[in-house]
Structure formats: structure tokens, C-alpha cells
Amino acid sequence: MAMKNVIATPEYRQDTLLEEWWNSCEKGNLLPALKKHWRIFVLSVFGNNHDPGKEERLAHKFLFRPMEYFLCRQDPEVVFEELKAKNMPSQLCGKVFKTGEPTYSCRDCANDPTCVLCIDCFQNGAHKNHRYKMNTSGGGGYCDCGDQEAWTSHPFCNLHSPNEVNQDEKNPIETLPVDLTDRASALFMAALQYIVEILTWNQCDNLPSDLQVEGELNDTYITMLFNDEVHTFDQVIKTLQRAVKHCTAQQAREFATLVDREGRATVYRGCFTSCEQCRTIIDQSTSRHGSKPLKVQVMHTVVVAHQTFCLRLMVWLQKMIEKSDGLRRLFCLLSMKPQEDGKSLMEKLLLHDTQLWKVARILSHQLLMAGVLMDQECKKQFAVIFTKWYPNVMRDFARDDHDHEVCVASLSVQIYTVPSLARMLVTDHDLLDVILVPFLAACEEKKNANGVLSLSKADRTPSFKRACFMLYDLKYALLCKPTSDEWSDKLRESFLRGHQSFLKLLKMMQGMDEVKRQTGMHLEYEPEWEGAFNLQMRVDDVISSFTEWCSTDRTVYIEAYRQAAQMLSQCRDTTQKSEQHTVCGHTVKCLKYDVQSQPVSIHLPLSRYLAGLHVYMGDYNLQFGCSELNVQGLDPVKMIEPPLRVQVLIAQSQAGLWRRNGYALLNQIYFYHNVKCRQEMYDKDILMLQIGASAVDSNEFLIHLLNRYGLLLWIRPEYDVPTGQDDNVRQTIMLAEEFLNLLLIILGERYVPGLGQVTHEDTLKREVIHLLCISPMSNSELSKNLPDSTNLKADIEDAIHAVANFRKPTSVGTAGSGKFELKNECYKEFNPYFYHYCRTDQSQAEETQIKRKKEEKSANHTLPPPVPPKFTPQFAQISNLLQSDVLVHILSLILQRSVAVRSRSWSETQLDRVLHLIGLALHEQRRNIHEGNHNFDFIGKALKGEPNFTQLLESLVTDPKNISHDSTKDLLSWILQKFIEVRQMTSSAEANGPVEQLASSSKEENEAAKKRKARLAAKRKEKIIAKISQMQQNFIRDNADLFESTDADSSLTRGTSEMDISESAHHETPVALGKYQSLPCSIGITKATCILCQEEQEISHNSRAMVLAGFVQRSTVMSQCKSRNPTDGENLDPLFTSSDLHVGSFTNSCGHTMHADCWQSFFQAILVKERRRLSRIPHSLSYNIVQLEYLCPLCESLSNTVIPLVPALHSLVTDSDLCDVNLSFGDWLDGLQKTVKNATKQESSSASKGDPFPFLPSSLSSITKMMADSVASNFQLLWQYVNNTKGGRFSESLMEMMKKFAKDVYSFGLGVDPDDMNHRVSIVAWNTCAYTIINLEQYLRYENKPLFGASPSRNVDCINALVKFAAVCSHIMPQEVIKKHCLRLLSGLLSNGLGEGDDPQCIIDVDMFHYLVAVTMALPSLYTEGTTASNLPLNSLNNQYILELVLTAHIVQVMLLHDRSQDGEEGGMEMENDADSVALMSMYTEIRRKAGCLPPSNNDPLPWQLTRHIKRAVLPFLRCATVLYHNLTGVPIPAQLQEWTEEVEPFCSYLSLPTSFSELFLNQGELLERVVNQWCSSDVLRSRLYSASSRSVVSYPLPVNHLIDLPDDYSQLINQISSFTCPSSKGNDSQLPTMCLVCGLVVCSQSYCCQTEIKDMKVGAATEHTYRCGAGVGILLRVRECQIVLLAGTKGCFIPAPYVDSYGETDQGLRRGNPLHLCKDSYKNLQKMWFTHCIPETVAHNIESHMNFMSIHWQHL
């Protein structure tokens, strides 16, 4: 990419230049002068491919600095300071939000939810004490602080409170010096003109003539790649690598990111031909398969240079106008000033928006926002301009393919949500029509032959979807409703024009997606339904806004109602025929229509809109048919027809008549009732039917209904006589039930203001009551089931608190949400026929309520119909239905059928509904009596017939043979009682005596019958229970082994349980090591049942092997140095584990046992099955079969290996083998040191694979030769047992499993490929044993739990198996290898290594417990000859001396590192310095002197403090050693250690150690002294202690790691992260900043910009970090999503972040936006999951239960 013709930076003199500019300015032609300068310098600054820093400097020097001088005529800084001093800062905050910044809205004070605050304003204002919501910004938009119109109160924060001077009075331009104003005008105008000229310039290879460089142009071109929404990142990257010379994958990725972020990127520079070549390749390789090619252009450098300058100039201008109100106003006015062609520069920019690339758009919008939108006066002018061009802007937007927020169309929200602007625009500029006309035009294209919208999914063009953004604008425009005195004639006129257009839209929607009943065949394809519902939901808000506008002005209301009614009548089919029907002597002309054969649509927005308007009629004293309305063809019968058909359709569907119509219809019906849609669908249909019932004669209305339901035959008494055609009876019964249900709704649902005498609060409360009658609910469950709060006129929270009590989560320590419970007094409002209940809700609610009544032990279990509120006068006629002839006939008919012995069309459901209807009628009757209204006479009519209601009810009560439900019986008695009461109230109470008697007697009888029944029922129940339990017993007997084995824990026979151990501990305190070792007992699993074949077996060394399911993983959870990356497994020398524990291998088990061979065949079967499946569907499992993962066949725990079960070790040797030996510690140490010193160097050829250590120990006899005789014989005796050949050999199958486990631990523990013969295999097996024990110890210490008795048995069994395996794993390795390990381990501590190849170990860098385990396990092999089965670490003296030696070394570590310890030495009682302390103190001084520590000072501890510290510091080591030796020797644990203790003494006594630690040093012989000296005087130690090194030094006791501390307030976290930028793309925003909870680092996750590679796999930043920080396992927080990501290798899952709102609920994705606070318990649980290595397991289980997690490419996160 060599550049030819690099333009040398030309020389110029600034003063000459300025002089020239000033002169031109005065003459009024500044622009040409500027251009003259720019045409040279723009190219030299931006056309030379300088690095960004240099470009910045040059631009400032040659381009911007001169302009600033021009403007100021002196030092700009001085002038700008002066301006600033005079400036009246705007009251507006106006901070533009970046993606991810937190925004706050106040639910108490914000005018609408789009009014938001930035965090500074929020925290400095009043709203933080109100009920607020928080969210993260999607970018764009600005802070509304200071905008009086955005807030009902507290519009200012403390930072933006208004100045004393009222600035609105003054034109801010007048504050500027006059000459500055002139120059600024000229400069701003010229700059804007230039910007518009360049940005609208559409040629690629030359510029306008006045910008052409004189002379010859250089010939450098640029291949420019543009953004598009079609091609994927990967496609772009691949194409670029192919098309651009020498383009690496990394570069290609950077280009792709740049294109995505800025909208375009220079991908190649060079001569025209090569640029063109590059373009062609890109074009061709992306246009294959007929897709649209990537947009790519070859442009001349000079064009690109000027475009780049343009962008900088916009940024510069923005900076200038932010300096002063005056400059801002000036700039805005200039930008809006019409030019010669009548358009202002701003308009030109506006109209050219979609032609620009992304970053150019964003900058121009920002300039607009900073200028126009910050100045109230200019904002108004801009609003007018924007509205003028609205149709054009929206048309361009529909054709564009960029996201909405990067289109200028998105500015509408900033304008139309301002109430005063919206009102002005609606009044003076026809805003409603301006928005609706282009939207209707877009709809035109979607109309079908009937003129109805048909929105097909198959239609792939997104333009209609984009057009729907206009509906948001319409919603904004209508947000601020005028009060009745705000209406003007102009507003009325303009509103009604918009209203008319809106009705046109509704008309196009009326009748969408008609359905026709399918008979015969099922539908072949599912019809469309989603598009229509989407549109309906978008229009919902607009509909309710229009209704509300209409409701505030009488003139508007009348006109709007007429418009709507007329529009509706146009939709009507005029060709319909009618027919006559007579019922109960009433003859009615009905419309002929058959829902079963003719089309019906569920979309009736026009009818529903009219219904919505109708309820306001009462407010203006209007009624149907009054002269003022004067609407032609306003016939209520016709109006109810469409909604009635929908009810019939749904009833028929319930009755199973529409089965063949498939899921589309079911979905439509579901959403029709759904809480998100029902307000403008179902609810309004019911309202329309109620309107009908109030306007039509009651009998006539009922006949219309019956006719439409097809029930005219059913209500004839003779219908019940069987005629032989029973075919449709079942369906008729169901339709009748639905019909009665509809009547209950029409009569009972009065909670609509205007219809019933209720308020909006009452309505909402009733919803909440009925939800809580189903069950107590959490806040989020409630709000999910309530309508969207933005459409409500009442506050949801108030309503909830009015009727319910909040109950906090039940017990402390459980993380969970609290629930709302209904207040007692509200239960009486319960109506089982509540119209928003679906069937399941209804039955659940009824069940809950009956249960509650029973629990209350009230005698009365009835759930009577609640008393409904009164209708408003306009709707009062509806209750007439209850006394109409037709209804009374129906009620009587069904009561008669209930009494009848046989009835083919009767159902109990019908009776229940009829009883509820009678109940309603009785409520109504009682109310009318109270009000002295005698026109309502249900009782009279009910008593007329023969038999009359009383007789019918009585006979039902006395003989309820047909009724099966107790609830119906209860209701029946209640109704009869009520009937009698109400009847008494009426004056016509003849002969009430007998009835009353009968009622009460019947009541008594009823009670008696009930009791009898209850007794019988109880007896029956007893019998049944007895029978069931008998059956269970039999079953268990028949399947005895099955039952035994399914209970996981009973399948294992353990050795002495922990409780038994303490039992035996009463006699003497057990000792595990040394001469006085106590007798062992069997611990761990001795007998087990195979979970696969159910056979039980003893664990022994020579039979079929048994194994535990196990999981091995690399781990960093205990790392003391988080910045240190885990060493690559290939290069790790694991023999000496680093004291910072920065990586280790952890093994755990679910504790389930299997036969080795059973497991093998099980695993083979999975392998075969999964290999087959894997070839078809990759990533289809929650576990990774390639990594040998499987799920435990019993409990489904994630596993990747099996741990062989070895029998108790002492059972493998005979007691006589371990005879008494009399050897002092000094002699023992001497023997070992002699062995180390006399090691023989080995020929390199025979060294085992990869082992760098070339020494072997010399034979035992050659060592003893060097000893005194008595010592020699004892030393010899010490090792005798190992060569005993009597011990049995391990069975084939056990050996095989041991090898398998060793291999798996090696490869998973180190993260390397398996290698049986590697010398490190046995070391890793020892290490995983040590690491797992340390992890358990730390975890129990963190939880303050005792070592024994507190962990679950699976952990105990696992550790036992690991220890025993570590003890025997030397048997599967060549003895030579173990000998060498042993020698090397000893030399590490006893000498300074053995020469070359083995670096001297530094005492403070070795983890002593890992060392202890390794040396304990390796030591028996030191002198073996040939392979023996008995070289087990069972010699109690050997073990005791090893422990003493290692503990001594550990104490030396503690002393050396004492001053680094954070251990609080303060506190506690002052103690005496006993002899032990004094001795330790002198050792401390000596050791530190040798190590070159600073001379003793005041910092040194007092002797007693030192002792205390040492004890505290070595306690973890002693705890681990106790676990080790307990499992190794089987010596029981003393009772004292089964409780939490911080004392070292009980551990010392169990481990046969002195409790005075000084004894470890004193009188142990001079050799130990020498060894200790050696440790302390090493140069390595000195440099580790005193020179700065990347590797940190630990301190003891090792602190237990925990996850990072999180702030209590979640928004603090959001804010903290909002300043985070992508580390690999020059400070750009990061879309998904993700925080590692282990180390606190934030990475830019799931983004191409930060992708890297691990082992040839592309990985995202989170995976990459996890790989380093957690050895592949990670727990991270996606801050903006409020979500935790768990990662384990290439799998992962999401779980909620541990933050909850005041209701105890989490909010993944911040959807609800309630303030969130840290839930400490949940965080503790996460901490536990992490520390106990349960992340992989959790991931596997979550994938299992969330199928969608399977498809995520977790490694790209």
C-alpha cells in the first residue's frame, strides 16, 4: 500500500490568512476564502493516511485553530472564557445518552415514560426518593432534566435549577459582542453550507470545482466498504481476506467492526485499477446465489478527505455552540434560514439523511440535538420544519435499511412528546393528519379485494413494519389530552380531520383475517393471524387516546361519534336477509346469518371504537337516536351483530365445532382474551353487547342472542323429549352453557366507568382481587397479568396495596420473592364467572376459595354471586333482562329440567349458571325495593308459573339427586334462603310461613344429610387408604431389591459411621500416627450396590472392581495470585506445587457406585448412540461426549471419569508386617539424607519419558552400611514390610480402573492429551487428592463447620476413595519412576537439589500439604526391589516423621512470612510468655536473621503473639493432614474434632505431634538444624523475599477466596460500567460489557472486535478471560442485562443476577426496571457454587432444562 505523491504540507502564514478571511467576511463572501484554504489543507491533513494522533494535531493546527482566531480576533481561550462568564446556562441538562448508560424515570412525576434523567441529575434531584424506574439506554435520546413540560413536579435537579434572572425574556444573541456576532454568522453559515455541499455531493472521483486542487491530482484512490444488513460478519471477513491484498484475519475483523460501527470503512488504498480490482472481487463474491452484493465504492482520496473534514467540522461546530447560548441561538437561526431555493440548510440535511453513512448521520443528529433541541425557541421552529417534511422523512425511512435509531426519523420522539409542541403542531399544522396520511398510503398497498388489510408473514419487505413506526408518532402526538377549556375551533377542526383519517385505518382493519368453519378436511396450511394482532396491539394506545380526546369536548364528541357510526355503517353488508322468530309471545325480525357456514372475523376495531365512545354519552346527556346525534342507520341491533358473532364463534369453538380449523383460530381466540389485547377486543365486544341490551327491548335482545347461538329449539319444553336425533345434543348443551355465561357477563360485568357507577380504581382493584383469588402472587406475576400500566388511569401499585397485604419471603436465608395475599374483607367480591378468567383460572380460583372457606371452618361454604355495582342511568335498562319473559322462561325451564327424573339437554353447569342469574336477579330486586322502585318485579314473575320458582327450588333442595357438586348444593340452599328473604320484603308476601319453615327445615335436613355423608365419606376414605397401603406393601415385597437400590444412600454399606466412631472414642483418644497408633476400623465404602445391575458386593482387592462416578476439572478457585495465568499443562512440572495454589485439579463425585464392567458397557452404549446422533445434530447434548463426559445414570450428575474403590488399606497387609521399630527422628532423617546424597546418577537413555531427573536412590543395604549397627537394623526394619510378597495382588479389573482413573486425572487435571506412560501421572493423582482436601478444608473453614460430620456423605466417600487411590497408584507405575519422584521430593527439602536439571526449591514457594501427600505416598517405594503389592504408606513411624519434618518446614514458612500476614494480631487477651513461646521467639529471630530479614524492630511480635499466630497459621495444614491420615489409616476421629474448633491441640494429639511446637526444633539432632539453616540461607529465598517479582508471596493462613464485592445498589454498577469502552477498538462503546466475578475484570463480550483464538477455536473475550482466570470455568456478570453467565468450556448458561427489587424478585434483562439491590443470600449461594466447583454441573443441568441454551455458541461470548 505504498503511497505515491504524498503531498507535502504547504506553508502558510496565519496572519495573512486571517486578514484575508476578515476582509472577505466584510465583503460578505467568506466561503470562497475558506474554500481556498481548505482545498489545500484538507487534502494534506486528511488525505495522507496519517496516524490518528498526527491527523488530529494537523487538523487542529491548520484547520480549526485559524477558524477560532478568525472568530475571536484574539486568543480564543480568553474570548471563550468571557463568553462563558456571560452565558446563562440552559436549564436543560440535555446530556445525550451513550449505549448502556443508566436512565431513570419517575413514576410519580414523569409526564410519560419517555421522560428520563441521567444519573447525575437523578442523584442530585428529588426523584430518587420517589417511586422510580431505571433502565439502560439503547443509545440516543437525552436527559430531560430542566424541561418543565416533562415533569409534573421537581423538573430541576440541584445542578440545573434556574437562574434568578428570567432569561426567557431576553434574546441570548444580544449578549454577544456585535462584531463577534457578525463573524460568527458568516463563519457558521459558510461552514454549514460547506457541510451540506459535501455531504450531498454524490460523485466519487471529483469535487465541486471551487474545491478542486490546482494542478494535477495525485492518483490515490480508496476502496470504501459500506454497511449493510444482509451480510453477516463472517461473510464480510471472509470476503475481505479474499479481496484485499495481504489482509489478515485480524485486519479483516477490524474492518468489519469498523463498517458495522461507522457505516463505512476504507479497506484498501492504491491506484484506481487496484482499487477497482478489489471492488470487483468483493462485489462478485458477495453477489452469488442471487443476493444483493455488499455496497462498495472506489472513491478518490480527495473526496474522502473532504468528507472526513466535514464530520470533524460538525463536531467542532457542536463544541462552539455549546460555549454560549447566544452562539447556539445564532447557529440555529442560520441553519433554519431559507436559502435561494426556499429550503434551509437544515432541511437539506434532513432530507438527505438516508443517503448518508452511519457515522455521518449520527454526527448530524447530534449537532441538531445540541443546537436546535436545546433552545426552546428554535426547537419550536424545528418542530414545524420537521412536521412539514414528515411524509418525506418517513418515506425515506421505509426504504432505508438502517436501524430506526440512526435515522433522522427517530428525532420525532424528541419533538412530539413535548406537550406544548405537540399541541401546537396538532392545532396549527394538522399533525394527526400529517402522520396518518402517509401511514394510510402504506396501508393501501396491503389491502385485499374487500378493501381490508391483509398482512402476510410471507411478505418479506420490511417497509410496512418500518411504516408502523408512524403509529408511535401518532401516540406521542396524542399523549397530552386537552382539557375541556383548552379546545379551540381550530384544534377541533384539525383534530376531527385526523380523526376521520384514523377511522379510515380502523375501517381497513375491520374484518381482517376472516375465518370460515372448515368441514370435512382439516385446513391444509395455517392461515395468517400474527400480522393483524401485531397491528392491533400497536394501534391500541392510539385508540384509547382518540377516545379520551373525544371525551373532553361535547362538540368534538358528537361529531366524532357521528363520523364513527357512519364509517361503521359503510362496513355493513346491505344484502342481508332477515327472518321472524317468536318466543314467549314476542315476535322479532332477526338477521339471517349462520356463523357455522359464513365467514367471521375476530378483528372489529371500528365497532369496538364506537363502543368505547358510547360510554361517554351520559356525560353529555345524550342517548341513542337523539336528534343531536342524528346518525343515519344507527341501529343497535346491527351494531351488536359483529361482536355477537365473535362470541358465538368462540362458543362453537369451545363446543368442538371448529376442530378442523387448526391452531390459527385457537391462537386468535387466545390472544383475543389475553391481557395484552383484551382491552380493545374482548372487553369492548362485551361493552357493545351491553350497549345493545340497554337500547333494545329486553325480550327482543334475548331472542337475537338465542337465534345467533342457534338455541331457539333448545328453549322449547318439547326439546327435552327424546326424538332419536341425539347427534347435536351434546353441542347444544355446551352452547347453552356458553349462552348463559354470556348473560351472566352482560348482566354482571359493570366495572366500566360510564357503564356502572364505578371509578377506574374500582376496576383495577377488582382485577387484582380476582387474580389473588386464584392464589397469592408475587409482584411480577401480578403485573404480568394486569394491563399495561401506561394505558391505565389508575395506579396499579395503589390498587394492589388497597386490596392485598405483602408477605415477605417465608424464612430468612432463602432467596425468593414475597407474595401478595388478598385482604380478608375482599374475598366477598369473588365472582367465579369473572369475565377475565380463563377456564383453568376459574376452576383454580373456585377450588382455592372453597378450600379457604373450609379452612376458616365457617359453616357456610357458599360462594354466592357478589352484589354488583349499580348501572349508570343510560345503562339501567340492562337489568330489565332479569325480569324479561324470555329469561324467566329460560330460568324456569332449566329448573324444571333439573327437577325432572330424566332430561337429555340438562347439565349441572347450566343449573349453576341459572342459580347465579337468579342470585343476580335477587340482588337487583332487593336494591329496587330499597330504592322504592316497583317497576322491577322479578319475584312476581318468578312466582307466576306452575310450578313456580319456590316450588322448583324447594324440591331441588330436598332432593338434590341430580346434583353432584357440593358447591352447587350450597348455592342452591343460599338462593332459596335469599329468595324467601327478598320475597318477604315485597309487599306481596302471602303465605310466607310455610315456605320459611320448609326452608329452615330443609336447611336442617341439609345439615343432617351433610353430616351423615361426611361420616360415610370418612369411612370410605379410611377403607381406601388401608387398601392402598396394603397394595404398597405388597408391591414393595414383590420388588424388594428394586426398592433397596433406588434409595441412593441405603445402597452403600459404610464402615463404622461417624457416630459410632465417637462412641468408641469414649475409651481413649485415638492417635493416628507413631508408636501409639490406635487400632483402625473400616471407614469409607466397604460394601456397595451397583446402580446399573442392582447387585451388591463387598469391596475387595481381588474381585470385580467397583467404581464411583467422578468428575475431574482444572481449578483456580483457591489461587492466591489472581493475576497469574494458570501454567499450560504441557509445560507444568507438578511435583512441587506452588504455594499460591494458582492452579490445581479438583475431583468430586456424586457418590454413586457401579461395577467397573457395568459402567464400561453403559458408557460404550452412550458413545455409540451419541456418535450416531452427533453426526446429525451437533451440540445436542448438555455434556461433551468427546471429553468423555456423561451423566451419572442414577442422579444425572455431570461426570467424566470413574474413581476405583480400593478396600481399606490395613486389610491389605498383615499386622506382623508392621513390627515395632526403635528409631529416633534424627537417625531417620540421617538415613534419608544419606540416601539423597548417595543417589546414583543414571544413564540418560534409561530415563523414563519426559523425565528430566537423572538420579536413582542407592539400595537400602548400601545406606545401612554407613550407619551404626543398632540404627542400621532398625532402619532396615522400617522398610521391611514393603518387600513382603505375601500381600495379594490387585485384580485385573481393579488395575484397569486404576489406570483409567490415573489417565483421566492426568489429562483433565492438566488439560493435556492422555499419556499412560508419562512420569507425571502418579504426581497428578497425588495432587488431586491434596487439592481436593484443601478445597474441602477451606470451604468448611469459610462456613465455620467442623471437618467431620458436616459434609455430605458423597464428599466423604469421594475423599476416602481419592486418598486410598493415591496410596496405591504407585502400583500402576514403573517402580523406578516412583523412586525418582521420592528422591527428588526428599532432595528438595533435604539438600539443595541434585545438581543440574533440578532448580533449587525455595522454601516459601512450596505448598506443604501437597508436598506432604506426595512424599507420604512415594516414600514406601524408596527402597523397593521389584514390584510388590505391599508398598503402602502404612508405616506409622515413617508417617509420623514425615509429618514432623513437613510441619517443621511449614512453621519456618510461617515465621519467614509473618510480617506479610494480614492476620489480626490485635484483640484477644494478653497472655503470658510461656517457655514454648520464648523458645519459638528465639528461633524466629534466628531464622529471620539467616534469611536476611531486617533486624528485630517494634514490628516484631511478642513471644505469645508469635505462638498464637503460628498456631492460627498452621491450623489449616493440620486440618488437612488429619483428613489425610484418617482416611489413610482408618483410625477413628476423636469426638472433639467432630465439632468446630480453632484449637490446634486436638489435631496435634490425633496426629501424635507435640503441642509445643518448639519441640519440633529442639533436641532433634544437629542434622535438622543444618537442614533448617539451609532453607533459610538460600539466595533464592532472599531474592524472593526482597526483590519485586511478578510472582507474589503468599501469607499464612491462606485466606479463603470469595467472589468480588458488589455494590448494594444495582444502578451504581450500571453507572460504573457505562464508562467502560472496548479495549481493542480505540475507546469505542462496548455492547456487552461483562464483569468477571472472580477477579473483577470487565471484558467486551460477544463481539467481533474482541475475538481471539485459543487452540484454533475462535473465542469471545469472556471465554478467553475465563480460560486464563478460571482454567475454563467462569462466572461473569453481564451488567446491562442484569444476568449471570456461567461458562464451562464451550458450554454455558444464563441465570439471574443476585439483585432483587423490593418484592424480592430478580429482573433478568431489566425488563421491569424496579430499583434493584444486592441479595446477599443469593450471592452467597453463587459464591458456594463457584468455590465448590459446581459450575460445570450447574451448566449441564440448566442446558438440560432450557433447550434454547443448546443453540448458543457460548465460546463466542
Interface with Zn ion (CB under 5 A): 93, 95, 106, 108-109, 118, 121, 127, 130, 143, 145, 157, 159-160, 1090, 1092-1093, 1150, 1152, 1155, 1158, 1192, 1194-1195, 1197, 1622, 1636, 1638-1639, 1644, 1647, 1649-1650, 1669
Strand pairing report for 1052-1054 and 1144-1155: unpaired
Shortest separation between residue 1358's beta carbon and Zn ion, angstroms: 11
Length of the chain: 1757
Shortest separation between residue 1165's beta carbon and Zn ion, angstroms: 14
- Closer residue to Zn ion in complex, CB, 125/1311: 125
Q: What is the longest distance spanned by two Cα atoms in the chain?
A: 133
- Closer residue to Zn ion in complex, CB, 69/1731: 1731
- Closer residue to Zn ion in complex, CB, 782/1669: 1669
As given in the structure block, the three cell numbers for residue 1603 are 467472589
- Closer residue to Zn ion in complex, CB, 103/1706: 103
Burial of residue 841 (CB within 10 Å: 0-12, 13-18, 19+) is: middle
- Closer residue to Zn ion in complex, CB, 204/1195: 1195
- Closer residue to Zn ion in complex, CB, 514/1196: 1196
As given in the structure block, the three cell numbers for residue 743 are 348473560
The dihedral built from the CA positions of residue 1326, 1330, 1336 and 1339, taken in this order, carries a sign that is: negative
- 1214: DSSP letter: -
- Closer residue to Zn ion in complex, CB, 142/1409: 142
- Closer residue to Zn ion in complex, CB, 33/145: 145
Q: Where are the beta strands (DSSP E) in 1593-1690?
A: 1633-1636, 1642-1644, 1652-1654, 1657-1659, 1673-1678, 1683-1688
Q: Residue 1581 and residue 1660: Cα distance in Å, rounded?
A: 40
Taking phi over 0 as left and psi of -120 to 50 as alpha, with beta for the rest, 608 belongs to: alpha
Q: Residue 647 and residue 627: Cα distance in Å, rounded?
A: 32
- 1258: DSSP letter: P
Rounded to 5 degrees, what are φ and ψ at 600? -135, 140
- Closer residue to Zn ion in complex, CB, 40/1639: 1639
Number of H helices, E strands in the chain: 62, 28
Shortest separation between residue 1614's beta carbon and Zn ion, angstroms: 15
Shortest separation between residue 101's beta carbon and Zn ion, angstroms: 10
Shortest separation between residue 1126's beta carbon and Zn ion, angstroms: 12
Would you say 1322 and 1373 are in contact if contact means Cβ atoms under 8 Å apart?
yes
Shortest separation between residue 411's beta carbon and Zn ion, angstroms: 19
Which H helix or E strand runs over 462? none
Shortest separation between residue 143's beta carbon and Zn ion, angstroms: 3
Shortest separation between residue 152's beta carbon and Zn ion, angstroms: 8
Contacts of 1037 (CB under 8 A, 6+ apart): none
Shortest separation between residue 133's beta carbon and Zn ion, angstroms: 11
Amino acid identity of residue 1234, one-letter, is: K
- Closer residue to Zn ion in complex, CB, 1150/1576: 1150
Shortest separation between residue 1127's beta carbon and Zn ion, angstroms: 17
Q: Vertex 144, ends 142 and 149: CA angle to 5°?
A: 140
Q: Residue 1457 and residue 1594: Cα distance in Å, rounded?
A: 8
- Closer residue to Zn ion in complex, CB, 1538/1666: 1666
Query: Is the backbone peptide bond immediately before 947 cis, with ω within 30 degrees of 0?
Result: yes
- Closer residue to Zn ion in complex, CB, 1197/1338: 1197
**Distances, alpha carbon 526 to alpha carbons 265, 303, 649, 660, in Å:** 45, 54, 18, 11
Would you say 1323 and 1134 are in contact if contact means Cβ atoms under 8 Å apart?
yes
Q: Where are the alpha helices (DSSP H) in 117-232?
A: 119-123, 178-200
Burial of residue 1096 (CB within 10 Å: 0-12, 13-18, 19+) is: middle
Q: Residue 143 and residue 1243: Cα distance in Å, rounded?
A: 78
Which H helix or E strand runs over 1462? none
Q: Where are the alpha helices (DSSP H) in 151-214?
A: 178-200
Shortest separation between residue 157's beta carbon and Zn ion, angstroms: 3
Would you say 556 and 625 are in contact if contact means Cβ atoms under 8 Å apart?
no
- Closer residue to Zn ion in complex, CB, 326/1193: 1193
Q: Residue 924 and residue 918: Cα distance in Å, rounded?
A: 10
Shortest separation between residue 128's beta carbon and Zn ion, angstroms: 9
Shortest separation between residue 1671's beta carbon and Zn ion, angstroms: 11
Shortest separation between residue 748's beta carbon and Zn ion, angstroms: 39
Shortest separation between residue 115's beta carbon and Zn ion, angstroms: 10
Shortest separation between residue 1644's beta carbon and Zn ion, angstroms: 3
Q: Residue 654 and residue 647: Cα distance in Å, rounded?
A: 11
- Closer residue to Zn ion in complex, CB, 95/388: 95
Shortest separation between residue 1156's beta carbon and Zn ion, angstroms: 9
What are 580's strand-pairing partners?
Answer: 589
**Distances, alpha carbon 394 to alpha carbons 196, 464, 1070, in Å:** 21, 11, 87
What are 460's strand-pairing partners?
Answer: none
Shortest separation between residue 1590's beta carbon and Zn ion, angstroms: 17
Would you say 1735 and 1688 are in contact if contact means Cβ atoms under 8 Å apart?
yes
- Closer residue to Zn ion in complex, CB, 870/1741: 1741
- Closer residue to Zn ion in complex, CB, 547/1601: 1601
- Closer residue to Zn ion in complex, CB, 261/1512: 261
Start-to-end Cα distance in the chain: 35
- Closer residue to Zn ion in complex, CB, 90/967: 90
Would you say 1363 and 1412 are in contact if contact means Cβ atoms under 8 Å apart?
no
Cell 495379594, located at residue: 1288
Q: Residue 1241 and residue 1262: Cα distance in Å, rounded?
A: 15
Amino acid identity of residue 116, one-letter, is: V
Would you say 480 and 152 are in contact if contact means Cβ atoms under 8 Å apart?
no
